[in-house]
Each structure stands twice: as structure tokens, then as C-alpha cells.
Amino acid sequence: MKTYKTEIYPTQEQIIKLNQTIDVCRFLYNQFISYNKEVYEKEGKFVSGLDFDKYVNNELSVQEGFKWIKKAYGKARKKSIMNAENAFKRFFKELSKFPRFKKKRNQDVSFYAPRNNKGDLLIERHRIKVPFLGWVRLKEKGYLPVKQQAKNITITQKAGRYYISAFLDCDFPYSNNQQKSEGIGIDLGIKEFAFASNGHSFRNINKTPRVRKFEKKLKREQGSLSRKYEFYKKKGGKSAAKERRNLNKNILRVQKLYQRLLTIREAYRQHVVSMMVKTKPSFITTEKLNVKGMMKNRHLAKSVANQGFYDFKQRLLHSCKKFGIELREVDTFYPSSKLCSCCGHKKVNLSLSDRIYKCDNCKVELNRDHNASLNLKQATKYVVLT
């Protein structure tokens, strides 16, 4: 099984239906949490998702002010209720915190549709057939496997755009019996995003003019949005949030810039993973980073967050599993930067400002990050993740 995600171009009528369904799903998710809190305080019991779905169909949607619930796709409504039930179950098992209400601005609610009939979720080169919506155009023509049927699909909305994730059967065209080269070590950092033991280095994309340009635009739009919220309060009138003075337009501009920056960074991390995997190494060794501890430094917190080390690790893990590459991870306290990759001598007094590693024993000089990547490659104590 494999999931394909791509952007779609729905018509104006389909956009209205999608927005209605997503709004209903958000409402029912929040209603399930609120309803269970009330029932538990009064009767001391928990209402299951199936019982609440019956209550919605037979009682709530019949009431005068809630008949709009029936306009949404039924399977998507039920899925949102079951998602809320799973959130409660995770809370009862102490795997997560108490379920929170979903906000419209977070855009974390999706449209779910399974395959029920033979004609559902058919895929053609330029479109896909979605229940309740009909044929929907695809942005990338030929990206989804043609003449197949997906098991289920999920449609999400981000910054005015719509994306579809199709879950279907797919044969991987990759072989694990390929001839492989020697392993490599990867040292992650902030000054440079990654430095490999084979000599390839990847710069920090957040320092490029393109990303800084979008960050400057984002800062300007955020300032404009903040002024709209506060300007009318200072005059003694209503806030911009209550009068909605072009507020939605400004919010959408901020969301689009956030999404653009997110897409650029994710695409770059995927590019780095592809460059590492295409050399067909026998193993890849990385270091377990204490990202939570690094985020406590207020001077580095933003830079660390923008690098997306966890996302890079997950993409690398997925690619290594697909190509049959062994992914190794050394301990957080492994002194990869302080050890000499030639003689193994440990240099205790090594500051962050020392970008060139100079060994006191064998007098070798090389780039600090390159030395760390070589030590990761030569590490003998590690955990295999694949």
C-alpha cells in the first residue's frame, strides 16, 4: 500500500461542498468533546462514537438550527466523530493530553471518503472521481497511477488550496539487491544543514535570499494583521475581528506565506535525502539530536525549528526502508565533533567558534563538520532503525 498526495483544482460548486463538509466535521468533532464532558459530569459515563453518531442523525440534525449538518457527506461526518473518540481513547491510555477543540484557523480538519461502490475513486490521467463531489481535476497530470481505484482518500485545505491523499495498492519498482557502495555518515547542524562523509555538503536554505525574501514579506503581513486587530480598540470602537474589516484577506495572505515557506523547506529536505540515497550506500549513520534541549536556547530556537530535523529523519527512514539501506543512529552524547577521525584522539577544549578541527596528536586539519561525519561513519556503537 502507498499514499500519493497531490493538489487538486475543484470547481466553485465543489469548493462550496468541500468547505461545508469540513466545517460540519469540525463542528461535530468539537460537539463530541463538549457532549462527553457534559455527560461525564452529570452521569459519570462516556458516550461512544457510534452512539453519538446516532444522536446526531436522529436528534441533533432534526432540530431547526442544525439541519445544515445533513448537507455534509455522511462518511466524512462519521469519520470526524470516530477521530474524536480515538482522541479520548489515547487520553484514557495516557498517550496524549485531553482532546482539544479544533479551530478554523488551524486548518487541521479533512474530508474523508472511502470506496463504497465500483464507480468510486476511479483514477484517470487528469482527474479522480470522488463520492459526493464527482470528477475532480488534478494539478499533476499522470502522477497518480492510471486505471486504478483508491481504497480511500482524504482531502485537506491549506491556505486556500486543496490537496488529496489517495491510498492504494502499488508495486515498488525498487530492488533491495542492488550493488551498494560503502556507508556514509551525516552530520546535521545549523551553519550548514548537512555534511556527508563523502565530502558533499548542503547549505542552510533558511539563509538563502529566496527564503529571507518570503520571511520579510511574512513579517510585514503579520504586522499589518496585528494593526487591524488593535487599531479600532485604541479609538474606543469595535475591534477589527468583530467588524471583519478585510481581516480574512489578510489572514489568507499570512497563511499563503507560511505554506510557501513550509513547501520550500520540505522540498529541500527531500532533495537532501534523495542525494544521500541515490549513491546506494550500504548504511547511513546519523546522530540522535536533543532538539528539545536545543530549543531552550532562545538565540537558536528559531533556527533549530526551521531546520526540521525530525522531518528529515522521518523522510530518511522511509527512503532507507524502501531501498533496503541500513539506517544507524548513535547516542546523543557520542563526541563526534571532538574525536579525531584519523587517530581517535579526543580534543576536550573545542568551542563552537572553532570551524577547523586541528588535532593535537597527529596535527591533521580538516573541516569540523566533515570530521564529525567521518566519526559517525566509523562509529561502532549504534542503534539500527531499519
pLDDT one-digit tens code per residue, 120-134: 899 999 999 999 999
Angle at 144 between CA 156 and CA 136, to 5 degrees: 50
User: In the predicted model, what is the mean pLDDT of residues 170-194?
Assistant: 77
Pick the range with the lowest mean pLDDT from 23-27, 71-75, 146-150, 326-330.
Answer: 146-150
Look at residue 1 and tell me whether its pLDDT is greater than 60.
yes
Considering the entire predicted model, what is its pTM? 0.83
Asked if residue 360 has pLDDT above 70, the reply is yes
Over residues 195-206, the pLDDT tens digits come to 999 888 999 999
Q: What is the pLDDT, as a whole number, of residue 165? A: 95
Please give the residue that has the higher pLDDT: either 378 or 361. 378
Whether the predicted pLDDT of 337 surpasses 80: yes
For the segment 3-8, the average pLDDT, to the nearest whole number, is 93
pLDDT of 179 higher than 70: no
Whole-number mean pLDDT of the chain? 89
Write out pLDDT tens, residues 74-130: 999 999 999 999 999 999 999 999 999 999 888 889 999 999 888 889 999 999 999
The one-letter amino acid at 199: G
- pLDDT score, position 177: 56
pLDDT per position as a tens digit, 230-259: 776 666 666 555 666 678 888 899 999 999
